[in-house]
Amino acid sequence: MSSPHALWPSMLPADATFTPDRVAVGAVGNRIEFADGSTRLCATSGLWNVPLGFGNPAVTEAVDRAMHDASYLSLFRAPHRYAEDAADALIELANPHRYSRVIFSTSGGAANDAAMKLARQYWSHQGAGSRSLVVGLTGSYHGTMYGSHASSGDDLLQSVYSVDRRSVRHVSYDDEGEQLEALLRREGHRVASVVVEPVLGSGAHALSETFVSRLLALREHYGFLVVADEVATGFGRTGRMFATDGWGAAPDVLILSKALTNGAAGAAAILVGPRVSSAFARGGWTFVHGETQAGTPACAAAVTAVIDELHRIDVDSTTAALGRDLSRLAATLKSDGLITDVTGAGCFLGLALRDSDANPLSGTEVLRVVSEIADHGVLVQPGPSAIALIPAYGFTSTELRETDSAVRAGLTQMRERRHEC
Protein backbone atom coordinates (compact mmCIF):
# COMPACT_ATOMS: atom_id res chain seq x y z
CA MET A 1 0.00 0.00 0.00
CA SER A 2 1.30 3.45 -0.90
CA SER A 3 1.91 6.00 1.84
CA PRO A 4 -0.31 9.06 2.19
CA HIS A 5 0.97 12.22 0.49
CA ALA A 6 2.29 15.06 2.65
CA LEU A 7 -0.92 16.92 1.82
CA TRP A 8 -3.68 16.02 4.30
CA PRO A 9 -7.05 16.56 2.54
CA SER A 10 -10.17 17.53 4.46
CA MET A 11 -12.88 15.19 5.70
CA LEU A 12 -11.16 11.91 4.82
CA PRO A 13 -9.42 9.17 6.81
CA ALA A 14 -5.78 10.02 7.46
CA ASP A 15 -4.57 6.95 5.55
CA ALA A 16 -6.37 7.90 2.33
CA THR A 17 -4.27 7.65 -0.84
CA PHE A 18 -5.12 8.76 -4.35
CA THR A 19 -4.40 7.44 -7.80
CA PRO A 20 -3.59 9.96 -10.58
CA ASP A 21 -7.19 9.89 -11.82
CA ARG A 22 -8.22 11.49 -8.50
CA VAL A 23 -5.54 14.20 -8.31
CA ALA A 24 -6.83 17.41 -9.90
CA VAL A 25 -4.40 19.47 -11.97
CA GLY A 26 -6.67 22.02 -13.66
CA ALA A 27 -10.22 23.29 -14.08
CA VAL A 28 -11.83 25.12 -16.99
CA GLY A 29 -15.50 25.89 -17.60
CA ASN A 30 -17.44 23.16 -15.81
CA ARG A 31 -14.77 20.46 -16.00
CA ILE A 32 -11.85 19.37 -13.83
CA GLU A 33 -8.72 17.81 -15.32
CA PHE A 34 -6.82 15.08 -13.46
CA ALA A 35 -3.20 13.96 -13.39
CA ASP A 36 -3.83 10.96 -15.65
CA GLY A 37 -5.17 13.25 -18.38
CA SER A 38 -8.84 12.45 -17.78
CA THR A 39 -11.52 15.07 -17.18
CA ARG A 40 -14.79 14.98 -15.27
CA LEU A 41 -17.82 17.20 -15.36
CA CYS A 42 -18.27 18.96 -12.02
CA ALA A 43 -21.93 18.94 -10.94
CA THR A 44 -21.10 20.55 -7.58
CA SER A 45 -20.03 24.00 -8.83
CA GLY A 46 -16.71 23.31 -7.14
CA LEU A 47 -18.30 22.69 -3.73
CA TRP A 48 -20.88 25.47 -4.39
CA ASN A 49 -18.06 27.98 -4.94
CA VAL A 50 -17.98 28.34 -8.73
CA PRO A 51 -21.46 28.97 -10.18
CA LEU A 52 -19.98 31.07 -13.02
CA GLY A 53 -17.61 28.33 -14.18
CA PHE A 54 -13.94 27.68 -13.54
CA GLY A 55 -11.67 30.42 -14.84
CA ASN A 56 -14.42 32.95 -15.47
CA PRO A 57 -12.58 35.64 -17.49
CA ALA A 58 -14.22 38.67 -15.85
CA VAL A 59 -13.38 37.48 -12.34
CA THR A 60 -9.88 36.36 -13.31
CA GLU A 61 -9.07 39.69 -14.92
CA ALA A 62 -10.44 41.69 -11.96
CA VAL A 63 -8.32 39.72 -9.49
CA ASP A 64 -5.25 40.04 -11.72
CA ARG A 65 -5.62 43.84 -11.88
CA ALA A 66 -6.09 44.12 -8.12
CA MET A 67 -3.04 41.96 -7.44
CA HIS A 68 -0.99 44.16 -9.76
CA ASP A 69 -2.25 47.50 -8.43
CA ALA A 70 -2.69 46.74 -4.72
CA SER A 71 -1.36 43.30 -3.86
CA TYR A 72 -2.38 43.57 -0.20
CA LEU A 73 -4.27 46.09 1.89
CA SER A 74 -5.71 45.42 5.33
CA LEU A 75 -9.06 46.31 6.88
CA PHE A 76 -7.56 46.56 10.37
CA ARG A 77 -8.50 50.03 11.70
CA ALA A 78 -8.77 51.52 8.19
CA PRO A 79 -10.71 50.96 4.96
CA HIS A 80 -9.53 50.64 1.38
CA ARG A 81 -11.40 51.54 -1.77
CA TYR A 82 -11.66 47.98 -3.14
CA ALA A 83 -13.48 46.80 -0.01
CA GLU A 84 -15.66 49.92 0.07
CA ASP A 85 -16.78 49.30 -3.51
CA ALA A 86 -17.46 45.62 -2.86
CA ALA A 87 -19.45 46.41 0.30
CA ASP A 88 -21.55 48.99 -1.54
CA ALA A 89 -22.23 46.51 -4.34
CA LEU A 90 -23.28 43.82 -1.87
CA ILE A 91 -25.67 46.13 -0.03
CA GLU A 92 -27.22 47.27 -3.30
CA LEU A 93 -27.60 43.64 -4.43
CA ALA A 94 -29.16 42.51 -1.16
CA ASN A 95 -31.39 45.61 -0.72
CA PRO A 96 -30.26 48.66 1.31
CA HIS A 97 -33.61 48.64 3.13
CA ARG A 98 -32.73 45.22 4.57
CA TYR A 99 -28.98 45.59 5.25
CA SER A 100 -26.71 48.54 5.91
CA ARG A 101 -23.18 47.36 6.84
CA VAL A 102 -20.75 44.66 5.64
CA ILE A 103 -18.10 42.84 7.67
CA PHE A 104 -15.66 40.86 5.54
CA SER A 105 -14.40 37.46 6.67
CA THR A 106 -12.38 34.62 5.16
CA SER A 107 -14.73 31.63 5.23
CA GLY A 108 -18.29 30.62 6.05
CA GLY A 109 -17.13 29.03 9.29
CA ALA A 110 -15.24 32.13 10.42
CA ALA A 111 -18.21 34.32 9.44
CA ASN A 112 -20.53 32.16 11.55
CA ASP A 113 -18.15 32.60 14.49
CA ALA A 114 -18.25 36.35 13.96
CA ALA A 115 -22.06 36.38 13.77
CA MET A 116 -22.27 34.56 17.11
CA LYS A 117 -19.96 37.15 18.67
CA LEU A 118 -21.89 40.01 17.10
CA ALA A 119 -25.22 38.79 18.50
CA ARG A 120 -23.83 38.25 21.98
CA GLN A 121 -22.15 41.67 22.05
CA TYR A 122 -25.35 43.32 20.81
CA TRP A 123 -27.28 41.96 23.77
CA SER A 124 -24.47 42.60 26.26
CA HIS A 125 -24.39 46.29 25.36
CA GLN A 126 -28.18 46.37 25.67
CA GLY A 127 -27.76 45.31 29.29
CA ALA A 128 -28.95 41.78 28.54
CA GLY A 129 -25.73 39.83 28.91
CA SER A 130 -27.69 36.75 29.92
CA ARG A 131 -28.92 36.54 26.31
CA SER A 132 -26.01 34.41 25.13
CA LEU A 133 -27.69 31.26 23.78
CA VAL A 134 -27.37 30.55 20.07
CA VAL A 135 -30.00 28.21 18.63
CA GLY A 136 -29.29 26.15 15.52
CA LEU A 137 -31.00 23.38 13.62
CA THR A 138 -30.40 19.64 13.87
CA GLY A 139 -28.65 18.46 10.73
CA SER A 140 -27.28 21.91 9.89
CA TYR A 141 -23.71 22.71 8.88
CA HIS A 142 -22.09 26.06 9.62
CA GLY A 143 -18.39 25.17 9.58
CA THR A 144 -15.70 23.68 11.78
CA MET A 145 -14.24 26.69 13.59
CA TYR A 146 -14.91 26.40 17.31
CA GLY A 147 -18.00 28.58 17.26
CA SER A 148 -19.41 27.33 13.97
CA HIS A 149 -18.50 23.75 14.94
CA ALA A 150 -20.60 24.22 18.05
CA SER A 151 -23.59 25.59 16.15
CA SER A 152 -23.44 22.94 13.42
CA GLY A 153 -26.19 20.39 14.01
CA ASP A 154 -24.42 17.51 12.27
CA ASP A 155 -22.46 14.99 14.33
CA LEU A 156 -18.90 16.18 13.61
CA LEU A 157 -16.98 14.80 16.61
CA GLN A 158 -17.75 17.90 18.67
CA SER A 159 -17.26 15.98 21.92
CA VAL A 160 -13.87 14.65 20.80
CA TYR A 161 -12.63 18.19 20.16
CA SER A 162 -14.10 19.51 23.43
CA VAL A 163 -16.20 21.98 21.47
CA ASP A 164 -18.06 24.07 24.05
CA ARG A 165 -21.79 23.75 23.33
CA ARG A 166 -23.09 24.88 26.70
CA SER A 167 -24.45 28.07 25.15
CA VAL A 168 -25.82 26.38 22.04
CA ARG A 169 -29.14 24.60 21.52
CA HIS A 170 -30.47 22.63 18.56
CA VAL A 171 -34.04 22.12 17.40
CA SER A 172 -35.65 20.25 14.53
CA TYR A 173 -36.07 21.85 11.11
CA ASP A 174 -38.88 19.56 9.92
CA ASP A 175 -41.55 19.95 12.61
CA GLU A 176 -42.83 23.38 11.46
CA GLY A 177 -41.09 25.05 14.41
CA GLU A 178 -42.66 23.09 17.29
CA GLN A 179 -39.36 22.38 19.06
CA LEU A 180 -38.18 25.93 18.50
CA GLU A 181 -41.28 27.40 20.11
CA ALA A 182 -41.08 24.97 23.03
CA LEU A 183 -37.43 25.92 23.60
CA LEU A 184 -38.28 29.62 23.52
CA ARG A 185 -41.06 29.17 26.06
CA ARG A 186 -38.41 27.76 28.41
CA GLU A 187 -35.38 29.88 27.55
CA GLY A 188 -36.49 32.67 25.22
CA HIS A 189 -35.16 35.36 27.56
CA ARG A 190 -31.68 33.85 27.18
CA VAL A 191 -31.60 33.44 23.38
CA ALA A 192 -29.32 35.85 21.54
CA SER A 193 -29.87 34.50 18.04
CA VAL A 194 -31.40 31.71 15.98
CA VAL A 195 -29.18 30.61 13.08
CA VAL A 196 -30.74 28.85 10.10
CA GLU A 197 -29.80 27.74 6.61
CA PRO A 198 -32.76 28.34 4.27
CA VAL A 199 -31.76 25.05 2.64
CA LEU A 200 -29.66 22.84 4.88
CA GLY A 201 -26.30 22.30 3.21
CA SER A 202 -26.20 18.71 4.46
CA GLY A 203 -28.90 16.83 2.59
CA ALA A 204 -30.46 19.83 0.83
CA HIS A 205 -33.55 20.11 3.06
CA ALA A 206 -35.43 23.37 2.49
CA LEU A 207 -37.14 25.07 5.41
CA SER A 208 -40.89 25.10 4.94
CA GLU A 209 -42.84 28.34 4.59
CA THR A 210 -44.61 27.47 7.83
CA PHE A 211 -41.29 27.11 9.69
CA VAL A 212 -40.01 30.44 8.36
CA SER A 213 -43.26 32.27 9.19
CA ARG A 214 -43.20 30.85 12.69
CA LEU A 215 -39.53 31.79 13.14
CA LEU A 216 -40.25 35.39 12.19
CA ALA A 217 -43.33 35.56 14.42
CA LEU A 218 -41.32 34.16 17.34
CA ARG A 219 -38.66 36.81 16.75
CA GLU A 220 -41.34 39.48 17.13
CA HIS A 221 -42.43 37.93 20.41
CA TYR A 222 -39.07 37.05 22.00
CA GLY A 223 -36.79 39.62 20.37
CA PHE A 224 -33.86 37.35 19.41
CA LEU A 225 -31.82 38.05 16.27
CA VAL A 226 -32.32 35.89 13.18
CA VAL A 227 -29.08 34.95 11.42
CA ALA A 228 -29.49 33.46 7.94
CA ASP A 229 -26.54 31.36 6.80
CA GLU A 230 -26.73 31.64 3.01
CA VAL A 231 -23.22 30.34 2.41
CA ALA A 232 -24.70 27.58 0.21
CA THR A 233 -27.85 29.29 -1.06
CA GLY A 234 -26.71 32.82 -1.90
CA PHE A 235 -26.32 34.42 -5.32
CA GLY A 236 -29.15 32.73 -7.20
CA ARG A 237 -28.64 29.13 -6.12
CA THR A 238 -32.27 28.53 -5.15
CA GLY A 239 -33.84 30.63 -7.92
CA ARG A 240 -33.73 33.94 -6.04
CA MET A 241 -30.70 36.14 -5.56
CA PHE A 242 -30.90 35.15 -1.89
CA ALA A 243 -33.22 32.47 -0.55
CA THR A 244 -34.32 34.83 2.23
CA ASP A 245 -35.59 37.33 -0.36
CA GLY A 246 -38.78 35.26 -0.29
CA TRP A 247 -39.22 35.62 3.47
CA GLY A 248 -41.90 37.90 4.88
CA ALA A 249 -39.23 39.93 6.69
CA ALA A 250 -35.46 40.17 6.46
CA PRO A 251 -33.07 38.37 8.80
CA ASP A 252 -31.02 40.60 11.08
CA VAL A 253 -27.75 39.15 9.79
CA LEU A 254 -27.00 37.48 6.43
CA ILE A 255 -23.89 35.32 6.02
CA LEU A 256 -22.45 34.85 2.52
CA SER A 257 -19.46 32.92 1.21
CA LYS A 258 -18.70 30.25 -1.45
CA ALA A 259 -20.14 31.86 -4.62
CA LEU A 260 -19.14 35.29 -3.28
CA THR A 261 -15.89 35.30 -5.28
CA ASN A 262 -16.62 32.41 -7.68
CA GLY A 263 -13.91 30.50 -5.81
CA ALA A 264 -11.19 33.05 -6.63
CA ALA A 265 -10.39 33.88 -2.99
CA GLY A 266 -11.12 32.56 0.48
CA ALA A 267 -13.83 35.01 1.43
CA ALA A 268 -17.08 35.58 3.29
CA ALA A 269 -19.26 38.57 4.03
CA ILE A 270 -21.59 39.32 6.92
CA LEU A 271 -24.39 41.69 5.94
CA VAL A 272 -25.78 43.41 9.02
CA GLY A 273 -29.29 44.83 9.19
CA PRO A 274 -30.13 48.26 10.61
CA ARG A 275 -31.39 46.94 13.95
CA VAL A 276 -27.88 45.76 14.88
CA SER A 277 -25.70 48.16 12.91
CA SER A 278 -27.50 51.28 14.14
CA ALA A 279 -27.21 50.13 17.76
CA PHE A 280 -23.44 49.68 17.38
CA ALA A 281 -23.14 53.09 15.67
CA ARG A 282 -25.25 54.93 18.27
CA GLY A 283 -23.28 53.39 21.10
CA GLY A 284 -19.88 53.83 19.46
CA TRP A 285 -19.19 50.17 20.24
CA THR A 286 -16.14 48.37 18.83
CA PHE A 287 -16.75 44.90 17.40
CA VAL A 288 -13.62 43.00 18.37
CA HIS A 289 -13.19 40.79 15.35
CA GLY A 290 -10.54 40.93 12.62
CA GLU A 291 -9.02 38.56 10.07
CA THR A 292 -5.75 39.34 8.35
CA GLN A 293 -6.85 38.11 4.91
CA ALA A 294 -10.43 39.41 5.06
CA GLY A 295 -11.52 41.79 2.31
CA THR A 296 -8.17 42.10 0.59
CA PRO A 297 -8.10 43.98 -2.73
CA ALA A 298 -8.05 40.72 -4.73
CA CYS A 299 -10.99 39.36 -2.74
CA ALA A 300 -12.98 42.57 -3.02
CA ALA A 301 -12.30 42.86 -6.74
CA ALA A 302 -13.58 39.31 -7.21
CA VAL A 303 -16.76 40.13 -5.27
CA THR A 304 -17.48 43.15 -7.46
CA ALA A 305 -16.76 41.20 -10.65
CA VAL A 306 -19.04 38.35 -9.55
CA ILE A 307 -21.91 40.77 -8.94
CA ASP A 308 -21.39 42.30 -12.39
CA GLU A 309 -21.40 38.83 -13.95
CA LEU A 310 -24.60 37.85 -12.15
CA HIS A 311 -26.29 40.89 -13.64
CA ARG A 312 -24.82 40.17 -17.08
CA ILE A 313 -26.23 36.63 -17.24
CA ASP A 314 -29.57 37.73 -15.72
CA VAL A 315 -29.10 35.23 -12.93
CA ASP A 316 -32.76 35.08 -11.89
CA SER A 317 -34.01 33.88 -15.27
CA THR A 318 -30.92 31.74 -15.86
CA THR A 319 -31.23 29.82 -12.61
CA ALA A 320 -35.01 29.54 -12.93
CA ALA A 321 -34.58 27.77 -16.28
CA LEU A 322 -31.75 25.55 -15.04
CA GLY A 323 -33.74 24.73 -11.89
CA ARG A 324 -36.68 23.53 -14.00
CA ASP A 325 -34.41 21.29 -16.09
CA LEU A 326 -32.72 19.93 -12.98
CA SER A 327 -36.09 19.24 -11.34
CA ARG A 328 -37.22 17.25 -14.37
CA LEU A 329 -34.01 15.24 -14.31
CA ALA A 330 -34.46 14.42 -10.62
CA ALA A 331 -38.15 13.59 -11.02
CA THR A 332 -37.32 11.07 -13.75
CA LEU A 333 -34.68 9.43 -11.56
CA LYS A 334 -37.32 9.08 -8.85
CA SER A 335 -40.03 7.75 -11.17
CA ASP A 336 -37.54 5.20 -12.47
CA GLY A 337 -36.98 4.00 -8.89
CA LEU A 338 -33.30 4.97 -8.69
CA ILE A 339 -33.81 7.45 -5.84
CA THR A 340 -36.48 7.67 -3.16
CA ASP A 341 -37.01 11.42 -2.76
CA VAL A 342 -35.98 14.82 -4.08
CA THR A 343 -35.22 17.67 -1.69
CA GLY A 344 -33.83 21.18 -1.96
CA ALA A 345 -34.74 24.12 -4.18
CA GLY A 346 -33.78 25.63 -7.51
CA CYS A 347 -30.29 24.59 -8.61
CA PHE A 348 -29.53 22.82 -5.33
CA LEU A 349 -31.21 19.42 -5.19
CA GLY A 350 -30.72 16.41 -2.92
CA LEU A 351 -31.39 12.90 -4.19
CA ALA A 352 -32.27 10.58 -1.29
CA LEU A 353 -30.80 7.07 -1.39
CA ARG A 354 -32.01 3.90 0.32
CA ASP A 355 -31.09 0.26 0.00
CA SER A 356 -33.38 -2.55 -1.15
CA ASP A 357 -34.73 -2.87 2.40
CA ALA A 358 -35.64 0.85 2.44
CA ASN A 359 -32.85 1.67 4.90
CA PRO A 360 -31.00 4.99 4.42
CA LEU A 361 -27.52 4.51 2.99
CA SER A 362 -24.62 4.92 5.40
CA GLY A 363 -21.98 7.58 4.92
CA THR A 364 -19.53 4.98 3.62
CA GLU A 365 -22.08 3.68 1.11
CA VAL A 366 -22.84 7.21 -0.11
CA LEU A 367 -19.14 7.89 -0.68
CA ARG A 368 -18.93 4.67 -2.67
CA VAL A 369 -21.84 5.80 -4.85
CA VAL A 370 -20.16 9.18 -5.38
CA SER A 371 -16.97 7.38 -6.43
CA GLU A 372 -18.88 5.17 -8.86
CA ILE A 373 -20.59 8.18 -10.43
CA ALA A 374 -17.15 9.81 -10.74
CA ASP A 375 -15.93 6.67 -12.53
CA HIS A 376 -18.60 7.48 -15.12
CA GLY A 377 -17.31 11.02 -15.56
CA VAL A 378 -19.31 13.28 -13.23
CA LEU A 379 -18.60 14.69 -9.76
CA VAL A 380 -21.55 14.97 -7.35
CA GLN A 381 -21.74 16.02 -3.70
CA PRO A 382 -22.22 13.45 -0.91
CA GLY A 383 -24.75 14.10 1.85
CA PRO A 384 -26.51 12.19 4.64
CA SER A 385 -28.10 9.22 2.83
CA ALA A 386 -28.16 11.34 -0.32
CA ILE A 387 -26.19 12.89 -3.11
CA ALA A 388 -26.62 16.52 -4.18
CA LEU A 389 -26.64 18.10 -7.62
CA ILE A 390 -25.34 21.69 -7.55
CA PRO A 391 -24.49 22.55 -11.17
CA ALA A 392 -22.91 25.78 -12.33
CA TYR A 393 -25.38 28.22 -13.89
CA GLY A 394 -23.93 27.77 -17.38
CA PHE A 395 -24.68 24.04 -17.53
CA THR A 396 -25.80 23.08 -21.03
CA SER A 397 -28.45 20.54 -21.99
CA THR A 398 -25.61 18.24 -23.07
CA GLU A 399 -23.98 18.52 -19.65
CA LEU A 400 -27.29 17.80 -17.92
CA ARG A 401 -27.70 14.65 -20.03
CA GLU A 402 -24.14 13.67 -19.14
CA THR A 403 -24.97 14.14 -15.47
CA ASP A 404 -28.14 12.08 -15.78
CA SER A 405 -26.28 9.25 -17.52
CA ALA A 406 -23.46 9.11 -14.96
CA VAL A 407 -25.81 9.24 -11.97
CA ARG A 408 -27.92 6.45 -13.45
CA ALA A 409 -24.85 4.34 -14.12
CA GLY A 410 -23.49 4.85 -10.62
CA LEU A 411 -26.79 4.10 -8.90
CA THR A 412 -27.35 1.02 -11.06
CA GLN A 413 -23.87 -0.19 -10.22
CA MET A 414 -24.65 0.29 -6.51
CA ARG A 415 -27.80 -1.83 -6.84
CA GLU A 416 -26.01 -4.59 -8.70
CA ARG A 417 -23.26 -4.70 -6.10
CA ARG A 418 -25.77 -4.99 -3.26
CA HIS A 419 -27.60 -7.83 -5.04
CA GLU A 420 -24.33 -9.71 -5.32
CA CYS A 421 -23.66 -9.44 -1.58
pLDDT for the residue numbered 187: 96
pLDDT for the residue numbered 39: 97
Contact between 226 and 135 (Cβ < 8 Å): no
Q: What are phi and psi of 58, to 5 degrees?
A: -65, -40
Q: Which class would CATH give 57-312?
A: alpha beta
What's the CA angle centered on 348, arms 408 and 259, to 5 degrees? 125
- 199-200 and 205-206 as β-strands: parallel, antiparallel, unpaired? antiparallel
Cα separation of 74 and 264, whole Å? Answer: 18
Name residues whose C-beta falls within 8 Å of residue 241's C-beta, 6 or more positions apart in sequence: 93, 94, 234, 235, 310, 315, 316
Name residues whose C-beta falls within 8 Å of residue 2's C-beta, 6 or more positions apart in sequence: 17
**Domain residue extents for the chain:** 57-312, 315-420
Cα separation of 319 and 88, whole Å? Answer: 24
Query: Would 57-312 and 315-420 be classified into the same CATH topology?
Result: no
Of 122, 120, 123, 85, give the one whose Cα is nearest residue 104.
Answer: 85
Q: How big is the chain by its Cα radius of gyration, in Å?
A: 22
pLDDT in tens, the chain (421 residues): 567 889 999 988 999 999 999 999 999 999 999 999 999 999 999 999 999 999 999 999 999 999 999 999 999 999 999 999 999 999 999 999 999 999 999 999 999 999 999 999 999 999 988 999 999 999 999 999 989 999 999 899 999 989 999 999 999 999 999 999 999 999 999 999 999 999 998 889 999 999 999 999 999 999 999 999 999 999 999 999 999 999 999 999 999 999 999 999 999 999 999 999 999 999 999 999 999 999 999 999 999 999 999 999 999 999 999 999 999 999 999 999 999 999 999 999 999 999 877 888 998 999 999 999 999 999 999 999 999 999 999 999 999 999 999 999 999 988 877 666 5
Q: Which class would CATH give 315-420?
A: alpha beta
Of 19, 22, 16, 15, give the one whose Cα is nearest residue 374.
Answer: 22
HSE at residue 52, side-chain half, CA atoms within 13 A, is 27
